[in-house]
Amino acid sequence: MTIGILGAMQEEIEPLLNYFKDYKTIEVGKQNFYQVNYKNHTLYIAYSRIGKVHAALSASVLTLKFDCEKVIFSGVAGGLASDLKVGDLLLGSKTCQYDVDISAFGHPLGFIPESKVYMESDASLNALARKVAKSMNIDLKEGIIASGDSFVASAEKKEWIKDTFKASVVEMEGASVAVVCDSLNVPFCILRSISDSADGSADVSFDEFLESSAKVSANFVIKMLDMMEG
């Protein structure tokens, strides 16, 4: 099986590259993709860069150029839900774009015509993630992921996103990957490890816990690959 794995920052994919060690670097445009042969799978790992545009471009390359049959996003996020703490792992049941606003035309926030507010992730990949969590004795959280092109470090904005979209975490890429995969009928799932609380101290927490939280998500993805049928 051909599987695409995305991370928005080098720190998010570095644990994967360090684990696999043997990989081929392929340059597409100004971006590097890393090809790995692992068990019965061919993996393409992408360092997408931050933001929805870059993530959508990377997901498009993975699916249209490299013919990835499934896409997994691995990375970190800011926690919105009160029960999430740094290092917790969340599986995105749905994604939304909190910064899309054409409400002047009577549409709900996050809605784009001929699309929808929420994109649901793949049921079979989510079931596999739950199975992996059980085998690792991990308390895998589930919830809505809200994406937008800004780093949320404001208690007021945090509460607005949480209340408006019922989101559990906030980040900058997941929903755009979901849009690409939904449009192309490619199963996807998104895993986010909590690096901060998306409030006034988010910048400090993010810098401190980025690498350790990224490893939590990356290690989980490796276990998913191990249990995934080829």
5 φ/ψ angles, rounded to the nearest 5 degrees: -125, 130
Active site residue 196: yes
Q: Which one of the listed residues 171, 173, 196, 199 is annotated catalytic?
A: 196
Query: Which residue in the block uniquely carries the two structure tokens 């995105």?
Result: 92
Compute the distance between CA of residue 100 and CA of residue 12 in angstroms, rounded to an integer.
Answer: 26
- Whose CA is closest to 73, among 227, 150, 176? 176
Active site residue 12: yes
Q: What is the CA radius of gyration of the chain?
A: 16
Identity of the residue numbered 96: C
Q: How many CB atoms lie within 10 A of CB 82?
A: 9
Angle (deg, nearest 10), helices 202-227 and 123-136: 100
193 to each of 38, 42, 62, 88, how far by Cα in Å? 24, 25, 23, 6
The C-alpha angle with vertex 225 and arms to 77 and 70, in degrees rounded to 5, equals: 75
Q: Which one of the listed residues 11, 12, 122, 171 is annotated catalytic?
A: 12
Which amino acids are annotated catalytic?
A: 12, 196
